[in-house]
Structure 1
Amino acid sequence: MSDPWDGPVGQATRSRSARVSGQRTAESQGVRPPGGRAAARAVTGNSTGPRSRRRTQAVRSGRRVLKIAATCLSVLILATAGAGWWFYQHLNGNINSLSLDGKGGTEKADAFGRTPINILVMGSDGRTSAADCKLGGGCSRTGVQSGNGNADVEMVVHISADRSNATVMSIPRDTMTNIPACKDSESGQSTAGYYGQINSALQYGPTCQVSTVHQLTGITIDHFVELDFSGVVKMSDAVGGVSVCVSDNVYDTYSHLKLSKGTHTLKGEAALEFVRSRHGFGDGSDLGRTVSQHIFLSAMIRKFKSAGTLTNPTAVYDLADAATKALTVDDGLGSVGKLIGLAADLNKVPAKRITFTTMQTSPDPGNSNRVVVGAGAKALFATIAGDQSLTTGSGKKSSAASATATASAVPASRIAVTVENGTGITGRASAVATALTDQGFSSATTTANAPSSAATTTLTYGTGQRAEAQTVAKTLGLSSAHLEQSTGTGLTLVIGADWPSGTTYSGSTASPAPADTKAATSNANASTADESKTCAEVSPYRTVSLDGVAMTPAQAYAAASGKPDSDE
């Protein structure tokens, strides 16, 4: 308690023994006794001796310390909050974003109401800054270039609706296709459309590249991310280097990559030389380069997921600062919060369930240095567009049969459906029921006519059978709006007038029936991000030239013994 006269605790004490319950004294009423403070102290039993003075001084000193500490803490809190706000604004200010203008199509939700994410990642070869000129070369005659370059790296990154798996599909830069009519909103450069090399679409802006890929593959593109040469350098430095392996000594005299056989940690320009090298690996074409890029990205993903990388504040700041400076994105990703959300979604996917592939190609009949879409590519496109995993839960390659079964904890073979025709069109129930059994559903599936005509299609299910209903809905392309719980048992599908033909709901906002994943991964160089022991295969062909002499990358390495390796 505090003294009603002298204020601070410890300057005076009150004798509790003199107090009687219900009795009020002059002290308790706050009335000062005659004689002033000295008399008051005498009443309360206090003295003004040295010990009392020392106690008073100590209390006052302690209060000053507390005031100073509180003031310092307040300043620290304000400074920290201010620094955090500055940091957030600083990162947002780094980001360059553009509108996608709906050029990539509209994403569809699955039977659970969730949507996948499809991002087109582009690596530009533009020399639009002094840094890019130095890194990429070729500016001695032209100087720093203006406008957009070519998309020498194109990858469709698909993150599944349930965030359980992801697919990264590379599209070789030498692919010939139809470029649609486009206009760059920034430069004003436009085209009425033409047949040409796919990477050239970027010259008309990132949205034109998105539109071209969407038209070629049928895959909805929700977002895009573009980075240039200096962006690759910044990102590799920010993560502290990326560990890669090469199968032999290699010297690509074009990208300047020079490494001895074995494992290396690449940062900065060395990382850029590795991902740019097309003459050092595989057959010396862009097809070999996509595989080595997958090896690099897989290693980077493993590093992101390794202990400490994303929990180290300094590493996170460096990465965020480098990423926001290095990237051009669509406005759907144009803030730090949105980029963090995207990173969190990708981080949910285990490395063993991130599949890297390269679009299947065939030689272009009109040009041996170009390629066209090959056999199996349509199946690969369909798996991505249909939100279908290329791996199982264990990380092994998926199959068409397992794709339906993994949609629910209940195997399709144990799910029977009563299919009723509410359209008045003969054979509708039979057609849909046959499609279900062909997809592996129970042979106990039956057909009947609905009690009355139905305007809309509904799938009713009994208590505890929602998972089975969702599996059926996913297979048939029905959205969650078509599902209804009943008081009965079993699953009953009533086909309404809104579904007059076909075995996949025509108004579907969900995924189509599973595609053939074996065909999708055939000749697609499929690998998963957890494959840490895979080495980039050095080309055995004479794909490089040194002093005018054609030779293999390994021969060039031996001949250039005086040139330091890229990681030195």
Structure 2
Amino acid sequence: MLKIAALCLSALIVVTAGVGWWFYEHLNGNINSVSLDGKGGAETADAFGRTPINILVMGSDGRTNAADCSLGGGCGRTGVQTGSNADVEMVVHIAADRSNATVMSIPRDTMTQVPACTDKATGRSTPGYYGQINSALQYGPACQVATVHQLTGIPIDHFVKMDFSGVVKMSDAVGGVPVCVSDDVYDTYSHLKLSKGTHTLKGVAALEFVRSRHGFGDGSDLGRTVSQHIFLSAMIRKFKSAGTLTDPSAVYGLADAATKALTVDDGLGSVKKLVSLAAQVNKVPTQRMTFTTMQTAPDPNNTERVVVGPGARTLFATIAHDQSLTTGDGEKSAAASATAKPTPTATASAVPASRITVTVENGTAVTGRAAAVATALTDQGFGSGTTTANAPSPAATTTLTYGTGQKAEAQTVADALGLPASQLRQGSGTGLTLVIGRDWTSGTSYPGGASASSSPDGSSGDQGGDSQGGGSSSAPADTEAAVSNAHAQTALTKTCAKVSPYKTVSLNGVSMTPSQAYAAARDKPDSDR
């Protein structure tokens, strides 16, 4: 959606140059903008003075007006509601040299630490809590940005938020989006109903497709992120191949829809700023845009939720360090060659962070070192039982000691902090003890490590491996490991959304598969009819 909006706005200035200032002002008046208040951190320029661009694209589930109530449902008893969740979250990374881009989805069911936030528009505030990542939007878009930045360590420069009616407007404006489904599908929750094959979806049908979580994959939000990537890739291919930008009336419709559909940060809060962004986005070749989904693991405390999984920190690091996930020609990408390859540490025995507690000891002369690192660990989802202490004696070197059978837990901690394997030790006791030595006197990522973690205050780190921009001196992340189990594909990939083979839907009180529901609901018209 972001690329489409940006492209049409860029062309709009050329097409309408002679129409008049009133039109430009009309579009400016459509835009709703909100301040980020510095919550997303800051990029670092590369050796040539160029900086990457990272944008958090959010799809809101809010029913804050009659139109969204009608489209989203659920307002029959409560009426128009206040507040919303970010049910779609995609970090869009545009490389410093504009040669490539990565779009990483974060499943809405991810559990993480939400920082202290106050929404200036509503006054609603929180001192911070551990909860579902999409709930941060209830405290304003800047809070959602801060939460994603804190989780990933990726600086977020801008955000774009779209609600239900925005998706409808944009899909109508582009004349529909061609998508393919692997089998007959009827998601009785999102109301998507399509026969096997390719369909061009507009308006409400497009919304039903991108909202469907019970129709595809395993019926969870993970399957939905993949189908959303299929939808967006198809939209990008259509937009760039259809010659839309040569049709003034089409350009007007797109620009008007885009500016009405979006809420953005102040950095994008005018047509001029959006056009400037469009010029940068348009430089990225379609074949070098990679779509991925953050790797997850089951939440040990809730079967309906997930936590950051093996490989995710490496994926975060590729984005934070401005590394491409495709080759120069885009035809053979790391995504294509590595999807089935596990990372060396992403084994079946890997332990989720939420199950791990660490005793962090300060072996330096710097006050507060243990607390800073312990807070960074809990902010990344490690167990609340993580504690701090002073080391028995000063330590020259940082070490992580683990008990018998706890090597996998130690590796998870090491991955989160960028700690090399050479710093790990097996001890004779139980539990994990991290002693901070004089080789690590500041920051929350080990100097020279590949961790993408952020500081406890939500800002990017201040030393060695904490550098997050395109000019980072940190060791490059393993791009094959970054896309392992991340459902990676480029925008040129044409594939069908895989209909769920499981009984993920219910019709007339009977559980069944989406294909069985399609057959049982012959009297209900298909979504594209």
- Change over 3 Å in CA distance of 1:112–1:558 after alignment to 2: same
Counterpart residue number, 1:525 = 487
In the aligned structure 2, how far is the partner of 1:318 from the partner of 1:260? 30
> Contact 1:248 / 1:538 at 8 angstroms: preserved in 2?
yes
Q: 2:57 pairs with 103, 116, 121, which one?
A: 121
| 1:235 counterpart = 2:167 | no
Counterpart residue number, 2:38 = 102
Q: Residue by residue, what CA displacement relative to the aligned partner does 1:314-368 show, whole Å, maximum 9, x if unpaired?
A: 1111111001000000000001111122222222111110000000000000000
Q: 2:125 pairs with 185, 190, 213, which one?
A: 190
In the aligned structure 2, how far is the partner of 1:252 from the partner of 1:285? 12
Q: 2:291 pairs with 326, 351, 356, which one?
A: 356
Counterpart residue number, 1:67 = none
| Letter of the structure 1 residue corresponding to residue 249 of structure 2 | T
In the aligned structure 2, how far is the partner of 1:314 from the partner of 1:341? 22
In the aligned structure 2, how far is the partner of 1:293 from the partner of 1:513? 32
Question: Aligned ranges for residues 75-86 of structure 1 at < 5 Å?
Answer: 83-86=19-22
| Letter of the structure 2 residue corresponding to residue 292 of structure 1 | S
Q: Residue by residue, what CA displacement relative to the aligned partner does 1:275-296 show, whole Å, maximum 9, x if unpaired?
A: 0000000000000000000000
Larger Rg belongs to: 1
Q: Which runs of 5+ in 2 are unaligned?
A: 1-15, 336-447, 451-462
> Contact 2:322 / 2:470 at 8 angstroms: preserved in 1?
no
Counterpart residue number, 1:47 = none
Question: Aligned ranges for residues 15-26 of structure 1 at < 5 Å?
Answer: none
Output the TM-score relative to the length of structure 2: 0.71
| 1:566 counterpart = 2:502 | no
- Change over 3 Å in CA distance of 1:182–1:518 after alignment to 2: same
Question: Aligned ranges for residues 51-70 of structure 1 at < 5 Å?
Answer: none
> Contact 1:151 / 1:199 at 8 angstroms: preserved in 2?
yes
Structure with the larger RCO, 1 or 2 (CA within 8 Å, 6+ apart): 2
Deviation at 1:308, TM superposition (A): 1.0
Q: 1:88 pairs with 9, 16, 24, which one?
A: 24
Counterpart residue number, 1:514 = 476
In the aligned structure 1, how far is the partner of 2:471 from the partner of 2:62? 39
Counterpart residue number, 1:291 = 226
- Change over 3 Å in CA distance of 1:182–1:503 after alignment to 2: closer
SS at match of 1:118: strand
Counterpart residue number, 2:503 = 542
> Contact 2:98 / 2:280 at 8 angstroms: preserved in 1?
yes
Farther-moved stretch of structure 1 (114-123 vs 345-354): 345-354
| Letter of the structure 2 residue corresponding to residue 297 of structure 1 | L
Counterpart residue number, 1:317 = 252
| Letter of the structure 2 residue corresponding to residue 340 of structure 1 | V
In the aligned structure 2, how far is the partner of 1:507 from the partner of 1:198? 22
Deviation at 1:508, TM superposition (A): 8.5
SS at match of 1:108: coil
In the aligned structure 1, how far is the partner of 2:25 from the partner of 2:243? 26
| Letter of the structure 1 residue corresponding to residue 144 of structure 2 | Q
In the aligned structure 2, how far is the partner of 1:354 from the partner of 1:383? 14
Deviation at 1:145, TM superposition (A): 1.1
In the aligned structure 1, how far is the partner of 2:148 from the partner of 2:465? 25
Q: Residue by residue, what CA displacement relative to the aligned partner does 1:119-140 show, whole Å, maximum 9, x if unpaired?
A: 0000000000100000000000
Deviation at 1:104, TM superposition (A): 0.1
Counterpart residue number, 2:105 = 170
> Contact 1:108 / 1:510 at 8 angstroms: preserved in 2?
yes
- Change over 3 Å in CA distance of 1:506–1:96 after alignment to 2: closer
| 1:556 counterpart = 2:491 | no
- Change over 3 Å in CA distance of 1:192–1:92 after alignment to 2: same
Counterpart residue number, 2:276 = 341
> Contact 1:305 / 1:347 at 8 angstroms: preserved in 2?
no
In the aligned structure 2, how far is the partner of 1:362 from the partner of 1:135? 32
Q: Which runs of 5+ in 1 are unaligned?
A: 1-79, 400-474, 478-501
Counterpart residue number, 2:80 = 144
Deviation at 1:513, TM superposition (A): 2.8
Counterpart residue number, 2:95 = 160
SS at match of 2:20: helix
- Change over 3 Å in CA distance of 1:476–1:516 after alignment to 2: closer
> Contact 2:52 / 2:470 at 8 angstroms: preserved in 1?
no
In the aligned structure 2, how far is the partner of 1:357 from the partner of 1:223? 20
SS at match of 2:244: coil
Deviation at 1:109, TM superposition (A): 0.4
Identity of aligned residues (%): 80
Counterpart residue number, 1:244 = 179
Output the TM-score relative to the length of structure 1: 0.66
| 1:254 counterpart = 2:215 | no
Q: Residue by residue, what CA displacement relative to the aligned partner does 1:129-171 show, whole Å, maximum 9, x if unpaired?
A: 100000000000110112x300000000000000000000000
